[in-house]
Amino acid sequence: MIFDNHFHLRVDGLAALAVKQFVAADGTHLLLTHSPYPDLPVTTAEDYRQAFDRTLQLADIARGEGAIVFVALGPYPVELVWMADRVGLAAATEAQMAGMELAASHIREGRAIALGEIGRPHFDIASEVLAAANTVLEHGMRLAREAGCAVILHAEDPTETTYQEWAGMAARSGLAPEKVVKHHSTPIIAAGERTGIWPSLLAKEDTVTAALVEGTRFLLETDYMDDPRRPGAVLGPATVPKKTRLWRERGILTEESARRIHQENPTKVYGIDL
């Protein structure tokens, strides 16, 4: 099996065709992660309902192409900045908290398996916005504890210090750090083992070879955005299965390490049967 841990779809992108490319390259499982839709701007809690419904509909489309599709839902952290500009920081924070609760309800009812991607903007922001983003994130972690699910983090490129920070936030929220996945992580695998956080790495050879020096406790992703303005960004939809096959052929990945990355690790993180 081949698991892409972070994959987006849009109705104005390739959508079903992207999944068809993934499956044609021998991809089997993917985590469809919610992200904003340009035609569905969010300013209120109710706006999240429509946006999440679209992600769930796109998941059904993806399943129609033969992929086994899991879903992560949550208020995208950069939206907090956009929303604060329109409705003020307090109202934006309240809307994101409510969006987090709606996402958690979908998880409890079996339509999604993780809260994500949630967290904080990956660029410098005002201190009060950062504080609000961290408040929303910890609220999400508490909801994840209650729902028994994982959290997928969007944030700045991590270091061991930020891994320790996020593990501390999880602990305060009652969530095991092993239920926290840092999407688009740097290859700090040993730091992940020490803190409990799971790195999810872009399927790039230099990143993966650096990670393998420290172990196989990581996930693989494309962060495929399905953005018609940026075709193939961040990585193309077939990248994870194609690269995995290539790395197996070249001896960069053994059969056992590939099994751990694509099956054992997602099973541990998400509590799913693969």
Residue 176, amino acid:
A
Please choose, from the candidates 79, 103, 211, the residue with its C-alpha nearest in 3D space to the C-alpha of residue 221.
211
- C-alpha to C-alpha distances, 187 to 116, 179, 222, nearest whole angstrom: 20, 18, 15
- What are the structural domain ranges in the chain? 3-270
Residue 82 phi, psi (nearest 5): -60, -45
Helix (H) or strand (E) holding 198: strand 198-202
pTM: 0.96
Class for the domain spanning 3-270: alpha beta
C-beta separation of 228 from 12 below 8 A: yes
Q: What is the pLDDT of residue 273?
A: 86
Q: How many C-alpha atoms does 101 have within 13 Å on its Cβ side?
A: 8
Mean pLDDT of the chain: 97
Structure tokens at 150: 């994982």
| Three-state DSSP state, 70 | strand
Q: What is the pLDDT of residue 51?
A: 97
Q: What is the pLDDT of residue 45?
A: 87
Helix (H) or strand (E) holding 98: helix 89-108
- Token pair 């849009």 is found at 10
Residue-wise pLDDT for 16-50, tens only, equals 999 999 999 999 999 999 999 999 999 888 999 99
The DSSP line for 119-186 is: E--SS---HHHHHHHHHHHHHHHHHHHHHT-EEEEE-SPP-HHHHHHHHHHHHHHT--GGGEEETT--
C-beta separation of 22 from 62 below 8 A: no
Q: What is the pLDDT of residue 132?
A: 97
In the chain (274 residues long), the average pLDDT of successive 10-residue segments reads 98 98 98 97 93 98 98 97 95 97 98 98 95 97 98 97 97 97 98 98 98 98 97 97 98 97 98 89
Rounded-to-integer distance, Cα 210 and Cα 207, Å:
5
Widest CA span in the chain: 53
